[in-house]
Chains A and B, each alone.
Chain A
Amino acid sequence: MGSGDAPTRAALVEKARDIYDDLDFGAVRRWLADHPGRKAAGYLPVYAPREIMHACGLLPVGIHGGGDRLEIIRGDAFYQSYICHLPRSVIELAQSGRLDMLSAVLFPSTCDVIRNLSGMWKLLYPEAYVRYIDVPQTPDKGAAADFWESELRRLVRDLGRVSGHHPTDAELRSSVELYNETRAMVRALYTARRERPWDLPTEELYVLLRAGELIPAEEFIAMSRDYLAAVEAEPRRPRDNSRVVVVGAFCEQPPLGLIMSIERAGCYIVDDDFLLGNRFLTRDVPLDGDPVRALAEAFVSNDQRTSVLFESDPLGKKRLMKECVAAANADGIIFATPSFCDPALLDQPMLRAGAENASIPCIAFKYAENTGQFQQFREQAGTFADSIKLWGDA
Chain B
Amino acid sequence: MAEALKDRSMVLQKEMIANHFARLARAPETGEPVVYTFVPGNLTELIRSFDALPVLPEINALQSGMRKLSGDYIAEAERAGHSEDVCTYVKCDIGMMRSGNLGPGGLKLPKPDLLLLSYTGCYTFMKWFELLREEYDCPTVMFHVPYQGDGVLEPEHRNYMLRQLKEQVIPALEKATGRKYDEDKLRHHLALSAKAEDDLVAVLQAGKNRPSPIDGYFGTVYYVGPIFSAFRGTEEGVEYYRALRQEVEERAALGLGPITPDGPLEGERYRLVVEGPPNWTHFRDFWKMFSDEKAVVVASTYTKVGGTYDFGFRHNPDDPLGTLADYCSGCYTNLNLPTRIEMISRYIEEYQADGFLINSVKSCNSFSAGQLMILREVEKRTGIPGAFIESDLVDPRYFSAANIKNRLESYFQMIDARRLGKTA
B225 at the interface (CB under 8 A from A): no
Q: List B contacts of A80 (CB < 8 A).
A: 360, 362, 368, 371-372, 390
A350 to chain B, nearest CB (A): 6
Q: List B contacts of A352 (CB < 8 A).
A: 81
Give Cα A330 to B368, complex, Å.
39
A275 to chain B, nearest CB (A): 20
B224 at the interface (CB under 8 A from A): no
Q: List A contacts of B137 (CB < 8 A).
A: 314
Interface residues of B in 308-354 (CB under 8 A from A): 336-338, 340-341
- Contact segment of B26-34, B48-56, B127-135: B127-135
A304 at the interface (CB under 8 A from B): no
B123 at the interface (CB under 8 A from A): yes
Mark interface residues in B140-166 (1 if CB within 8 Å of A CB, else 0): 101110110110000011001001100
- Among A82, A120, A131, A151, the residue within 8 A (CB) of B85 is A82
A143 at the interface (CB under 8 A from B): yes
B336 to chain A, nearest CB (A): 4
With A122-B337, A140-B168 known as contacts, the answer to whether A350 contacts B144 (CB < 8 A) is no
- Among B156, B164, B365, the residue within 8 A (CB) of A112 is B365
Asked if residues A342 and B337 are in contact (CB atoms below 8 Å), the reply is: no
A191 at the interface (CB under 8 A from B): no
Asked if residues A134 and B373 are in contact (CB atoms below 8 Å), the reply is: no
Identify which of A87, A143, A151 gathers the most chain B CB atoms within 10 Å of its CB.
A143
Q: List A contacts of B338 (CB < 8 A).
A: 119, 122-123
Q: List A contacts of B147 (CB < 8 A).
A: 109, 115, 132, 134
Q: List B contacts of A139 (CB < 8 A).
A: 142, 168
A26 to chain B, nearest CB (A): 29
B82 at the interface (CB under 8 A from A): yes
Asked if residues A78 and B163 are in contact (CB atoms below 8 Å), the reply is: no
Q: List A contacts of B90 (CB < 8 A).
A: 346
B252 at the interface (CB under 8 A from A): no
Asked if residues A350 and B123 are in contact (CB atoms below 8 Å), the reply is: no
A83 at the interface (CB under 8 A from B): yes
A170 at the interface (CB under 8 A from B): no
Give Cα A236 to B194, complex, Å.
72
Q: List A contacts of B140 (CB < 8 A).
A: 312, 314
Asked if residues B168 and A346 are in contact (CB atoms below 8 Å), the reply is: no
B119 at the interface (CB under 8 A from A): yes
Give Cα A47 to B214, complex, Å.
46
Give Cα A30 to B151, complex, Å.
35
Q: List B contacts of A137 (CB < 8 A).
A: 119, 126, 142, 144
- Which residue in chain B gives the minimum CB-CB distance to A80? B360
- Among B123, B168, B341, the residue within 8 A (CB) of A342 is B123
- Among A131, A147, A317, the residue within 8 A (CB) of B134 is A317
Asked if residues B82 and A349 are in contact (CB atoms below 8 Å), the reply is: yes
With A109-B147, A120-B370 known as contacts, the answer to whether A147 contacts B156 (CB < 8 A) is yes
Asked if residues B149 and A115 are in contact (CB atoms below 8 Å), the reply is: yes
- Which residue in chain B gives the minimum CB-CB distance to A122? B338
Asked if residues A348 and B83 are in contact (CB atoms below 8 Å), the reply is: yes
Asked if residues B127 and A346 are in contact (CB atoms below 8 Å), the reply is: yes
Identify which of B124, B147, B341 gathers the most chain A CB atoms within 10 Å of its CB.
B147
Q: List B contacts of A348 (CB < 8 A).
A: 81, 83
Q: List B contacts of A154 (CB < 8 A).
A: 156
Mark interface residues in A307-318 (1 if CB within 8 Å of B CB, else 0): 100111010011
B369 at the interface (CB under 8 A from A): yes
A138 at the interface (CB under 8 A from B): yes
Asked if residues B87 and A123 are in contact (CB atoms below 8 Å), the reply is: no
A136 at the interface (CB under 8 A from B): yes
Asked if residues A132 and B365 are in contact (CB atoms below 8 Å), the reply is: no
B377 at the interface (CB under 8 A from A): yes
Asked if residues B336 and A119 are in contact (CB atoms below 8 Å), the reply is: yes
Asked if residues A111 and B372 are in contact (CB atoms below 8 Å), the reply is: no
- Which residue in chain A gives the minimum CB-CB distance to B335? A119
Interface residues of A in 318-356 (CB under 8 A from B): 318, 339-343, 345-350, 352-353
Asked if residues B372 and A349 are in contact (CB atoms below 8 Å), the reply is: no
Asked if residues B126 and A123 are in contact (CB atoms below 8 Å), the reply is: no
Asked if residues B377 and A143 are in contact (CB atoms below 8 Å), the reply is: no
Asked if residues A138 and B164 are in contact (CB atoms below 8 Å), the reply is: yes
A70 at the interface (CB under 8 A from B): no
A116 at the interface (CB under 8 A from B): yes
- Among B149, B157, B369, the residue within 8 A (CB) of A113 is B369
Asked if residues A82 and B372 are in contact (CB atoms below 8 Å), the reply is: no
B82 to chain A, nearest CB (A): 6
Q: List A contacts of B144 (CB < 8 A).
A: 136-138, 310
B411 to chain A, nearest CB (A): 18
With A111-B123, A138-B164 known as contacts, the answer to whether A116 contacts B370 (CB < 8 A) is yes
Mark interface residues in A292-312 (1 if CB within 8 Å of B CB, else 0): 000000000000000100111
- Among B81, B86, B130, B142, the residue within 8 A (CB) of A317 is B130
- Among B126, B146, B366, the residue within 8 A (CB) of A134 is B146
Asked if residues B85 and A340 are in contact (CB atoms below 8 Å), the reply is: yes
Q: List A contacts of B128 (CB < 8 A).
A: 346
Give Cα A139 to B338, complex, Å.
31
- Which residue in chain A gives the minimum CB-CB distance to B128? A346
Asked if residues B134 and A123 are in contact (CB atoms below 8 Å), the reply is: no
B122 at the interface (CB under 8 A from A): yes
Q: List A contacts of B119 (CB < 8 A).
A: 137, 310
- Which residue in chain A gives the minimum CB-CB distance to B117? A310
B80 at the interface (CB under 8 A from A): yes
Asked if residues B160 and A112 are in contact (CB atoms below 8 Å), the reply is: no
Give Cα A346 to B86, complex, Å.
7
User: What are 29 A-B pairs with beta-carbon distances under 8 A?
Assistant: A80-B371, A82-B85, A82-B362, A83-B368, A113-B369, A115-B366, A116-B369, A119-B149, A119-B337, A123-B337, A123-B377, A132-B150, A134-B147, A134-B157, A138-B142, A140-B164, A142-B167, A143-B160, A150-B160, A311-B130, A314-B133, A314-B134, A317-B130, A346-B87, A346-B90, A346-B124, A347-B127, A349-B81, A349-B82
Tell me the A residues contacting B by CB distance below 8 Å: 77-80, 82-83, 87, 107, 109, 111-113, 115-120, 122-123, 131-132, 134, 136-140, 142-143, 146-147, 150-151, 154, 307, 310-312, 314, 317-318, 339-343, 345-350, 352-353, 366
The 8 closest A-B pairs by CB, nearest first: A119-B337, A132-B149, A346-B127, A116-B370, A137-B144, A345-B83, A112-B365, A150-B156
Apart from A138-B144, A314-B140, A342-B127, 11 more pairs, CB < 8 Å: A112-B365, A112-B369, A116-B336, A118-B336, A123-B337, A132-B147, A147-B160, A154-B156, A342-B124, A346-B124, A349-B131
